[in-house]
Amino acid sequence: MTAGWRAAAFNQGWTYRDRVPVAISGIWLSEWMAKRYRHSAADLWRARIQAGELDCNGQVLSADHWLSGAEQILWRRPPWREEAIPDRWDTLHDDGDLLVINKPSGLPVMPGGGFLRHTLTALLEPSGARPVHRLGRFTSGLQVCARTAATRAAWSKQFRPDGGCRKVYQAWAQRVPGLDLGQTLTVTTDVVERVHPLLGWIWGPEPLDEEPIRKRLSAHSELRLLERTADGDRLQVTIRTGRPHQIRIHLAQLGSPLLGDPLYLLNREISARATPGDGGYRLHAWRLSGLAELGLIHLQAEP
């Protein structure tokens, strides 16, 4: 394994806890779990039940269970293999409490998407620091962490839409029509929750065709063209809101998805085979400005 990388390895497993809603009854536990965790079909859940991995109301199950509602479900997931990750970064600021790093692409910030111990959160445990916010696994750049709850709360407040901090990214996208060098374009379309065959629901751009939409979130992005090449556009993107996958979604909404994005495609389509955690795109958290209230001028991480 190359220096600066943590090799793929098995973790210690994890225990998931669920409570069946009172209104849910007349369905097999395997079927309910398959609907709740769409990554596994009912047949696989039945196999897990038979292997003794699931409890219902404190009792280990050996066969599928007919739900009546309000059951306490526990799934002891056996150890699984986590992918290799980059585990080195440049420290941009560290005053003993506030820690700001230049996160490498490929490093998950928090547990999720198949990662438990191969995360920045776990790597920071010896230092006492914890992430204040979450960058996507394949988004590089400024990641703010803190060692005290008070500092995490202060930064979290600044990251709200009405906070003073402005988050500026660099994004490499397909050509944005109607945008010339140095010009700025404001995008205020909603981020919407759409159906996805693997995950059930997923945040994405407004669909061109009629399809179910479960929820909407307002979003605000400002795009400025920094460079235009034969491969695509290099953009400065300033976001006032921090919606899930906002930059990827807004660029897809414009018809200019991030170069190499496996999920958000042309014509506002979403890949049925990809998930938000899949990489291939280039997105960098470049600058944080408006930090006078926190005693800083700005922070910057070059791509």
Question: Other CB atoms closer than 10 Å to residue 19's CB: what's the count?
Answer: 11
Residue 93: pLDDT over 90: yes
Per-residue pLDDT, 295: 66
Q: Quick one: which of 272, 257, 271, 299 has its CA closest to 283?
A: 257
**What confidence tens digit (pLDDT) does each residue in 46-82 have?**
999 999 999 999 999 999 999 999 999 999 999 999 9
pLDDT above 90: percentage of residues in the chain:
85
Residue 1: pLDDT over 60: no
What topology does CATH give the domain 86-159? Pseudouridine synthase (3.30.2350)
The set of residues, in sequence order, having a beta carbon less than 8 Å from that of 229 and lying 6+ positions away, is none
pLDDT band at 254 (very low <50, low <70, confident <90, very high): very high
CA distance 56 to 61: 7
**What confidence tens digit (pLDDT) does each residue in 150-182 have?**
999 999 998 888 888 889 999 999 999 989 999
**What confidence tens digit (pLDDT) does each residue in 262-300 have?**
999 999 999 999 999 999 999 999 999 877 666 666 789
**What confidence tens digit (pLDDT) does each residue in 195-248 have?**
998 888 999 999 998 899 999 999 999 999 999 999 999 999 999 888 999 999
Alpha carbon of residue 71 to chain centroid: 30
Per-residue pLDDT, 127: 96
Give Cα separations from 208 to 190, 205, 212, 269, 286 (angstroms). 13, 9, 12, 8, 32
Residue 90: pLDDT over 90: yes
Question: Other CB atoms closer than 10 Å to residue 56's CB: what's the count?
Answer: 16
pLDDT above 70: percentage of residues in the chain:
97
Give Cα separations from 174 to 10, 76, 139, 153, 256 (angstroms). 38, 44, 17, 37, 5
Per-residue pLDDT, 240: 85
Per-residue pLDDT, 199: 87
**What confidence tens digit (pLDDT) does each residue in 101-122 have?**
999 999 999 998 899 999 999 9
CA distance 12 to 180: 52
pLDDT, mean over the chain:
94
In the block, residue with structure tokens 């990750």? 85
- Sketch the domain layout of the chain as residue ranges: 9-81, 86-159, 169-284
Residue 3: pLDDT over 80: no
Q: Is the pTM of this model over 0.85?
A: yes
pLDDT band at 2 (very low <50, low <70, confident <90, very high): low
**What confidence tens digit (pLDDT) does each residue in 30-47 have?**
999 999 988 899 999 999
Beta bridge partners of 140: 284
Per-residue pLDDT, 298: 78
Reply yes or no on domain 9-81 having CATH 3.40.640.10.
no
